[in-house]
């Protein structure tokens, strides 16, 4: 292994700009003559919009315009679409209520924009926004997802406020499994609503060039091409050919910056109206309301077992809160990213899941780190742990009893996936070594002596990522293909520019992708530059989410690199007057077989652009190749997470005293970066278990609308983590990689709550396990 090749913990090249303050985030980029937008946001969870009087606002010095939903609609601006059509079990399409970027007749959640004020300065825009007078006719709000189907009907199209009633699995076979079970474990689970809170608030600057009619949008997006597509094809701000979307340095996403939102749409449109750049940056208070939230499921789950612990069947019924509108990928999260994962790591032969998605007067809910898979893992792993306790079996033994074994792959689950490879016991065994499972009883006793209650919990998760085989996704209702693109441009002097359709907002692609190309092409790491995040540089791209960048985007880069090698062989063959089959390529050198003639990569690059006597009908000049890679299957990262907690019984305060994560991501390109991804995911998973919760009051006001009330994990809330990997290479992509971005958030939550319930000796406990919740559980016990 070289110091910069695949498998090396190369220090990140993007770091130098970030640690010196030279990063360029959207809000750092100003445009000459820019104006500032402030959005008018609904104070009501549900209301009819009466008259909007902007006259006073327009008198505020510096205010340029006040736009309402009517103005956008009159200009032909379309709805924000949901990109995944889910069908109900009766075959009907999901219900998609109209979703104008700026509300026209009604507002349906607190924070929904119903207008925007554009002014010379931010101060003037804020003053103007306060001067707008609106008549709202407040209506009763539907807030709680569990009772939403009995609430006031929010949309004429959606009886019972239901978006869809979806199912997966063999219901009859599952019922039969329950009928012959010796034991049934059941749980009522609320998967708490989370608010993503990437540290960089969303921002967008729309620009319009009157000379060309071209629009440029600078925005905090995880997928600029997708933003361009949606804004062109559906919202119809501008044709794709006239719209450039740039996502410069982006300060974290975690899903929340996948989606196409009202704000970037409106500022781009407004830039065209005003013929000057229009900039908007969310205040954190806006982020809390206007970024799509995550999770928010209410579930009843049952596991049927034989007396010896054999898992026979799993039955799950979930209500998923969509919020007030269907966000860009919202419909897919509680269905194809959730129901399909309910087999977990186990050979449970019969699984049936029903999901009813409901509308409420709350912020839209969409993918947040893990997206469906954390919810599935939580259901499965809480059930398995609880079943073990009820059957008085060791929880690791019950899992081993039911694991899909290495010899079983490829393994088709009863919920529509085919796992390609894995070794679940290997991960669990390694995790138990790290955590010293044998020593747990002694640690528990020692804690008891200190007045603390100690518990241990496990989570053996699986995820499907590397989204996604386009054929599969399209057949299931996706509105876009989910391949990825790459371009490898060899410059005349032999340096290489890689353009990827993936987007890096913390993942370190500029480093990892350069490692891949450097190794593949046998050229120095420093000769490879990676570019991303600008629709004018790359042809197309689907962006970064679903732990897909390496498995899909990296594979596209490999494919393009291999085309470079193939072309290089042709060039060399021509120079040596032989055939390209006679040319071997190793470590950056093209050599003729059975001869001592060779050309270096640099010489071939130069020859490609200085084509002295190319046979032009057979060999074009230049050395630049594009590739689109469409995966053959999902990838299936899996692992074992183990958590130990101690509880202060007097106060209910929990402390995570040990956390071990052993993950199988297939081959690892940069172990340092992979470990970092796991750490961050674990912290978010722990945050869900211990402190994070998006809470609405009964009237639909967001109670947790700032960091004063929404509890983000801080440095002193989490321990140092023990992370390790085991490897079963993915069988169907050229790098053998699976993806690591979401694993921590998928596995950790169940491990923590299994540990907490173990410590407390209770079956169920609501998340987040705040100190009062714990204290009450102890008081009741």
Partner 1 sequence: MEVTLTVNGTAHALDVPDNMLLVEVLRERLRLTGTHVGCDTSQCGACVVHMDGRAVKSCTVLAGQADGADVTTIEGIGAPDDLHPMQAAFRECHALQCGFCTPGMIMAAIDLVNTSEQLDEQAVREGLEGNLCRCTGYHNIVRAVLAARDAM
Partner 2 sequence: MYRFKYQKAASVAEAASLLDGAEDGVYLAGGMTLIPTLKARLASPTDVIDLGAIDGMADISVGDTVRIGALARHAEVAASAAVRGAIPALADLAGLIGDAHVRNRGTLGGSVANSDPAADYPAAVLALNAVVHTDRRTIAADDFFKGLFETALEPGEIVKSLAFQIPRRAGYAKFPNPASRYAIVGVMVADFGAEVRVGVTGAGACAFRSAELERALAGGLAAEALADVTIPYDGFNSDIHASAEYRGHLVAVMAQRAVAAAIG
Biggest CA-to-CA distance, the chain: 87
Q: State in angstroms the smallest separation of the CB of 287 from partner 1.
A: 9
Q: Kindly list the residues in this chain that would bind partner 2 in the complex (CB under 8 A).
A: 123, 126, 130, 285, 650-651, 691, 693, 695, 703-704, 707-712, 717, 770-772, 775-776
Distance (Å, whole) CA 280 – CA 292 = 18
Distance (Å, whole) CA 67 – CA 35 = 14
The residue count for the chain = 781
Q: State in angstroms the smallest separation of the CB of 278 from partner 2.
A: 22
Nearer to partner 2, 325 or 696 (CB): 696
Give the 3-state secondary structure of residue 577: coil
Q: State in angstroms the smallest separation of the CB of 705 from partner 1.
A: 10
Measured over the CA atoms of residue 433, residue 437, residue 439 and residue 443, the dihedral's sign is positive
Q: State in angstroms the smallest separation of the CB of 327 from partner 1.
A: 20
Nearer to partner 2, 158 or 285 (CB): 285
Among partner 2, partner 1, none, partner that 630 touches (CB below 5 to 8 angstroms by kind): none
Among partner 1, partner 2, none, partner that 181 touches (CB below 5 to 8 angstroms by kind): none
Q: From residue 405, give the alpha-carbon distance in Å to each of 343, 666, 732.
A: 14, 17, 19
Among partner 2, partner 1, none, partner that 126 touches (CB below 5 to 8 angstroms by kind): partner 2
Among partner 1, partner 2, none, partner that 254 touches (CB below 5 to 8 angstroms by kind): partner 1
Spell out the alpha helix ranges (H) of 588-662: 601-609
Q: State in angstroms the smallest separation of the CB of 708 from partner 2.
A: 4
Q: State in angstroms the smallest separation of the CB of 33 from partner 1.
A: 15
Among partner 1, partner 2, none, partner that 129 touches (CB below 5 to 8 angstroms by kind): none
Of residues 54, 28, 200, 236, the one with CA closest to residue 132 = 54
Among partner 1, partner 2, none, partner that 14 touches (CB below 5 to 8 angstroms by kind): partner 1
Q: Kindly list the residues in this chain that would bind partner 1 in the complex (CB under 8 A).
A: 11-12, 14-25, 27-28, 123, 197-201, 249-252, 254, 283-285, 505-508, 672-673, 675-677, 679-684, 706-708, 712-716, 718, 720-721, 744
CA angle 21, 25, 31 (to 5 degrees): 110
Q: State in angstroms the smallest separation of the CB of 28 from partner 1.
A: 4
CA angle 372, 157, 335 (to 5 degrees): 15
Tokens standing for residue 534: 């600008």
CB 222 within 8 A of CB 503: yes
Among partner 1, partner 2, none, partner that 650 touches (CB below 5 to 8 angstroms by kind): partner 2
Among partner 2, partner 1, none, partner that 146 touches (CB below 5 to 8 angstroms by kind): none
Nearer to partner 1, 27 or 296 (CB): 27
Among partner 2, partner 1, none, partner that 443 touches (CB below 5 to 8 angstroms by kind): none
Q: From residue 103, give the alpha-carbon distance in Å to each of 74, 135, 362, 446.
A: 13, 14, 15, 59
Among partner 1, partner 2, none, partner that 720 touches (CB below 5 to 8 angstroms by kind): partner 1
Find the helix or strand (DSSP H, E) in which 282 lies.
none
Nearer to partner 2, 126 or 389 (CB): 126
Distance (Å, whole) CA 542 – CA 224 = 8
Nearer to partner 1, 198 or 342 (CB): 198
Nearer to partner 1, 25 or 84 (CB): 25
Nearer to partner 1, 249 or 420 (CB): 249
Q: State in angstroms the smallest separation of the CB of 251 from partner 1.
A: 3
Q: State in angstroms the smallest separation of the CB of 11 from partner 1.
A: 6
Give the 3-state secondary structure of residue 216: strand
CB 706 within 8 A of CB 722: no
Spell out the alpha helix ranges (H) of 153-291: 171-179, 224-233, 262-274, 284-290
Say how many C-beta atoms besides its own lie within 10 A of residue 708's C-beta: 7
Say how many C-beta atoms besides its own lie within 10 A of residue 97's C-beta: 20
Q: Say if residue 593 is exposed, middle or buried (CB neighbours under 10 Å; 0-12, 13-18, 19+).
A: exposed
Nearer to partner 1, 466 or 508 (CB): 508
Distance (Å, whole) CA 137 – CA 114 = 14
Nearer to partner 1, 223 or 356 (CB): 223
Q: State in angstroms the smallest separation of the CB of 127 from partner 1.
A: 12
Q: State in angstroms the smallest separation of the CB of 366 from partner 2.
A: 24
Distance (Å, whole) CA 93 – CA 97 = 12
- Phi and psi at residue 139, in whole multiples of 5°? -120, 155
Spell out the alpha helix ranges (H) of 691-766: 743-760
Nearer to partner 1, 625 or 663 (CB): 663
Nearer to partner 1, 452 or 489 (CB): 452
């Amino acid at each position: 292994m070289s110091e910069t090749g695949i498998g090396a913990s190369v220090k990140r090249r993007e770091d130098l700009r970030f640690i010196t303050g030279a990063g360029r985030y959207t809000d750092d980029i100003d445009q000459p003559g820019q104006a500032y937008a402030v959005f008018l946001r609904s104070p009501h969870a549900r209301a009819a919009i009466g008259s909007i009087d902007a006259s006073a606002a327009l008198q505020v010095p510096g205010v340029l315009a006040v736009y309402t939903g009517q103005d956008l609609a009159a200009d032909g601006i379309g709805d924000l679409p949901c990109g995944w059509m889910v069908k109900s079990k009766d075959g009907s399409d999901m219900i998609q209520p109209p979703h104008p970027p700026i509300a026209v007749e009604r507002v349906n959640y607190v924070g929904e924009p119903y207008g925007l004020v554009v002014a010379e300065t931010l101060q003037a825009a804020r003053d103007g926004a306060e001067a707008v007078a609106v008549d709202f006719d407040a209506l009763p709000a539907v807030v709680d997802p569990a009772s939403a189907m009995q609430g006031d009907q929010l949309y004429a199209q959606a009886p019972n406020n239901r978006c869809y009633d979806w199912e997966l699995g063999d219901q009859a076979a599952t019922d039969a499994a329950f009928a012959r079970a010796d034991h049934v474990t059941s749980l009522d689970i609320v998967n708490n609503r989370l608010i993503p809170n990437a540290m960089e608030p969303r921002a967008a600057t729309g620009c319009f060039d009157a000379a060309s009619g071209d629009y440029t949008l600078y925005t905090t997006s995880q997928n600029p091409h997708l933003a361009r597509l949606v804004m062109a094809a559906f919202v119809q701000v501008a044709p794709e050919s006239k719209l450039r979307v740039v996502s410069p340095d982006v300060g974290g996403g975690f899903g929340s910056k996948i989606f196409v939102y009202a704000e970037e749409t409106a500022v781009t449109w407004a830039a065209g109206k005003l013929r000057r750049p229009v900039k908007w940056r969310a205040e954190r208070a806006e982020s809390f309301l206007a970024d799509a939230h995550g999770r928010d499921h209410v579930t009843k789950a049952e596991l049927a077992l034989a007396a010896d612990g054999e898992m026979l069947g799993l039955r799950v019924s979930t209500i998923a809160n969509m919020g007030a509108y269907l966000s860009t990928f919202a419909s897919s999260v509680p269905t194809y990213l959730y129901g399909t994962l309910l087999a977990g790591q186990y050979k449970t032969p019969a699984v049936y899941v029903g999901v009813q998605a409901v509308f409420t007067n709350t912020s839209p809910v969409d993918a947040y780190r893990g997206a469906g898979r954390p919810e599935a893992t939580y259901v499965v792993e809480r059930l398995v742990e609880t079943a073990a306790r009820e059957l008085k079996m060791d929880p690791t033994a019950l899992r081993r009893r039911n694991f899909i074994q290495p010899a079983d792959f490829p393994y088709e689950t009863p919920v529509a996936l085919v796992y390609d490879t894995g070794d679940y016991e290997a991960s669990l065994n390694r995790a138990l070594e790290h955590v010293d499972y044998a020593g747990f009883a002694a640690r528990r006793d020692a804690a008891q002596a200190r007045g603390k209650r100690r518990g241990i919990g496990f989570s053996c998760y699986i995820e499907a990522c590397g989204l996604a085989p386009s054929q599969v996704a399209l057949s299931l209702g996706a509105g876009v293909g989910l391949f990825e693109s790459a371009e490898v441009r060899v410059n005349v002097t032999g340096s290489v520019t890689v353009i990827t359709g993936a987007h890096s907002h913390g993942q370190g692609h500029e480093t990892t992708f350069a490692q891949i190309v450097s190794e593949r092409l046998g050229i120095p790491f420093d000769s490879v530059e990676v570019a991303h995040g600008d629709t004018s540089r790359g042809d197309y791209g689907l962006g970064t989410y679903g732990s897909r960048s390496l498995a899909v985007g990296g594979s596209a880069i490999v494919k393009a690199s291999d085309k470079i090698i193939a072309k290089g062989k042709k060039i060399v063959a021509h120079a040596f007057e032989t055939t390209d089959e006679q040319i071997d390529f190793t470590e950056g050198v093209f050599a003729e077989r059975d001869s001592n003639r060779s050309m270096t990569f640099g010489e071939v690059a130069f020859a490609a652009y200085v084509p002295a006597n190319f046979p032009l009908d057979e060999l074009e000049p230049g050395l630049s190749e594009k590739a689109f890679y469409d995966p053959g299957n999902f990838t299936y990262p899996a692992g074992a997470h183990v958590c130990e907690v101690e509880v202060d019984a007097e106060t209910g305060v929990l402390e995570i005293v040990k956390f071990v994560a052993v993950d199988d991501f297939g081959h690892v390109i940069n172990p340092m970066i992979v470990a970092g991804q796991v750490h961050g995911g674990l912290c978010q998973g722990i945050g869900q278990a211990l402190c994070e919760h998006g809470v609405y009051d009964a009237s639909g006001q967001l109670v947790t609308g700032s960091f004063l009330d929404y509890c983000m994990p801080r440095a002193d809330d989490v321990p140092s983590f023990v992370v390790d990997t085991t490897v079963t290479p993915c069988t169907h992509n050229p790098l053998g990689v699976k993806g690591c971005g979401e694993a921590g958030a998928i596995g950790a939550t169940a491990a923590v709550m299994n540990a907490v319930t173990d410590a407390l000796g209770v079956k169920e406990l609501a998340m987040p396990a705040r100190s009062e919740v714990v204290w009450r559980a102890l008081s009741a016990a």
